[in-house]
Amino acid sequence: MIMGNKIDIKNILDLTANKLNSLEFDDFAITANRGNRSQLRFADSQITIAKNWASLELGVFAAKDSKTVAIEIQDLSENSIISALESLEKLAKSLPPNQNYFGISDGPFSYPAIEYLADTDFVEFHDQSIDQVEGAINAAEAEGAKRSAGVLVWEVKEEHLLSSKGANVSENSTTYEFSIRSFIDDTSSGADVEVGRLFSKVDFERAGTRAGEIAKMAIGGTNGDPGKYNILLEPRVAADVVAATPGAANPFMVDIGMSWLKDKIGEPIGPELISVYDDALLPNGLGSKSFDDEGHPTGRNVIVDKGILKGFIHNTSTAKKAGTTSTGNAGLVLPQNSNVFFEPGEHTFEELLELTKGKPTLYITNNWYTRFTSYADGIFSSIPRDGMFIIENGEISKPVRELRISDTMGNVFKNVIALGKEIKQIKSWEVNVPTFIPHVLIEDINISAATK
C-alpha cells in the first residue's frame, strides 16, 4: 500500500474495488484525490498567514439493493480501508431503499481532451506567490488605498476515479483563486477577484488596481433612495444574481422545491440576447473536468438558448427519472454544474453606460448576503458591498450606500437589456460555481433600503 513515503493510489483503488465486490455491492464509484494546497492571507496590507496542506483522500459511493451509502476514509492503511468498507456494508443493510436512485453510468468511456487544466510552471507560481500578492497590495495603494485585505489560495491536484461500471480515469489540475478588498476609509472600499489555472494568466496587480480605483470613487458616499432602478452589474455581482437562474436548472432542486424553474423547459425565461451553457470543457475554467462523479464523460450542455430554457443538467438517476440521458454532471446525490458560461454581448462598458441615459441607474460593483425568502418563487435580496454609484447622463456620478436588491430571480433574468462584450471568470464566497459572465444591464429592479 505504501511505497517509501508515497502511497500507491492504484493499489488503494484496486483494494477498495475488490472489497466492495466481495461485499456484493451493486454499484460503486471510488475517488482518490491527492493535493497540495497553499494559502496566503493578508490584512492591513501585510501578509499575516501562510499555510500549506498536503492531502490524500479516499471517497467511496456505493449502492446495494438501491440503498446508497458514502464514506470518506482518511487512514489509508489496508486494515483501515477494509474495516471502513465492512462498516459501510452494515450501514447499507440498515437503510431503506433510495427511491430516487437508478444506478450510475455504464462504461467503459472515452474522455474529452481539455486545454489548460494544469500548468507545468506552477512551481514557479509557488516561488513568486508572495511577490504577486504584494504587487496587488502596492497597486491598490498606488490608487490611494490605505489598507487592503484578502486571500490567495492555489492547489496542485491529481484525481483518480474507478467505478463498478467500467470507468477508470485520472486527471491532473492546477488552480488559483485571489481576492482583494481595499479601503480608503471605513466606508469607502472596493474589491476584485482573479481566478484561473494558468500561471501565464495571473494578473493580481490588475485586481489590486481595480479595488483601489473603486475605493477611491466611493469616497463621500451617502445613503441612497429606495425605488425602481435599472442596475448595471459588475461580473462578480452578475455571477451571483443573474447566473443563479441557469444554476437553478437542476431537477433535484426542482423536486425539493428550491428552484423557480419548475415546468419552464421550452419556455422563454429571458430575452433573446441571453444564451447560457454548462461547459466542463472550457480552457482555464476552474470547473473544467473530463469526467463527473460517476465517471461519465463531461461536455457542453445548453441551458438557455436565446432566452428559452432548453433543459436541465443531469446525473444518471435524475436523467432516468426524467426519461433522458446523463449530461455528465454527477454529483452522486444531485447534479452539479461545472462552469456556467454566458455568451458575451456587443457592448463595451462605456456603451453600457450610454444605454442608461434618461433612466435612474445604479452601478453595483460587489455584493454579499444573497438570501431567499422563497426559493420556489425566486424571491431574494442581496446587499451591495463596496463601491455603488448613481449613473447620470451616461456617466458614473455620486457614490451611494445602504441599499439592497429586493426582487425575484425571474424578474432579474427576464429584464436583462444588454450584455458587455468582455467575459470574466468569477468564483468567490457568494459564487460557488465558476461563472464566465460579462457586465450586465438590467431594467426595472426593486431597490429597498438596507436594514441594520
Q: Which of 303, 151, 144, 301 is CA-nearest to residue 211? A: 144
Q: What is the mean pLDDT of residues 129-138?
A: 96
The predicted pLDDT at position 333 comes to 86
More confident residue, 451 or 12: 12
447 is written with which cell numbers? 431597490
Does 1 score more than 90 pLDDT? no
pLDDT tens by residue, 162-179: 999 999 999 999 999 999
What length does the chain have? Answer: 452
pLDDT tens by residue, 284-322: 999 999 999 999 999 999 999 999 999 999 999 999 999
Walk me through the domains of the chain, giving residue ranges and CATH numbers.
1-220 (3.30.2290.10), 223-449 (no CATH)
Does 451 score more than 80 pLDDT? no
More confident residue, 429 or 280: 280
204 is written with which cell numbers? 493580481
pLDDT bracket for residue 452 (50, 70, 90)? low
pLDDT bracket for residue 126 (50, 70, 90)? confident
Beta-strand runs (E) in 282-348: 300-305, 308-309, 340-342
Does 442 score more than 90 pLDDT? yes
Does 4 score more than 60 pLDDT? no
Does 39 score more than 80 pLDDT? yes
Q: Which of 5-9, 204-208, 333-337, 365-369 has the lowest mean pLDDT?
A: 5-9
pLDDT tens by residue, 335-359: 999 999 999 999 999 999 999 988 8
380 is written with which cell numbers? 431574494
Average pLDDT for the chain = 95
The predicted pLDDT at position 2 comes to 40
The predicted pLDDT at position 3 comes to 38
The predicted pLDDT at position 9 comes to 93
Cα 400 to chain centroid, rounded: 29
pLDDT bracket for residue 7 (50, 70, 90)? confident
Q: How many CB atoms lie within 10 A of CB 146?
A: 15
Does 88 score more than 70 pLDDT? yes
The predicted pLDDT at position 6 comes to 65
SS3 label, residue 89: helix
Does 123 score more than 50 pLDDT? yes
Q: Tell me the residue type at 269.
A: I
The predicted pLDDT at position 120 comes to 86
8 A C-beta contact, residue 438 and residue 341: no
Enclosing H/E stretch for 355: helix 349-355
More confident residue, 452 or 30: 30
Does 11 score more than 50 pLDDT? yes
8 A C-beta contact, residue 99 and residue 68: no
Q: What percent of the chain has pLDDT over 70?
A: 98
For 377-445, give the DSSP string: TTEEEEEE-S-EEEEETTEEEEEEESEEEEEEHHHHHHTEEEEBS--EEE--SS--S-EEE--EEEEEE
Strand 395-401 versus strand 222-223 pairing type: parallel
Contacts of 371 (CB under 8 A, 6+ apart): 380, 381, 382
Q: What is the mean pLDDT of residues 60-66?
A: 97
The predicted pLDDT at position 332 comes to 82
Beta-strand runs (E) in 65-146: 67-73
Distance set, CA 354 to CA 224, 242, 318, 391 (Å)? 22, 21, 45, 10
8 A C-beta contact, residue 298 and residue 171: no
420 is written with which cell numbers? 458587455
pLDDT tens by residue, 355-409: 998 889 999 999 999 999 999 999 999 999 999 999 999 999 999 999 999 999 9
- pTM here is 0.96
24: exposed, middle or buried (Cβ count in 10 Å: 0-12, 13-18, 19+)? exposed
Q: What is the mean pLDDT of residues 25-35?
A: 97
Q: Which of 446, 448, 440 is CA-nearest to residue 246? A: 440
Q: How many CB atoms lie within 10 A of CB 123?
A: 11
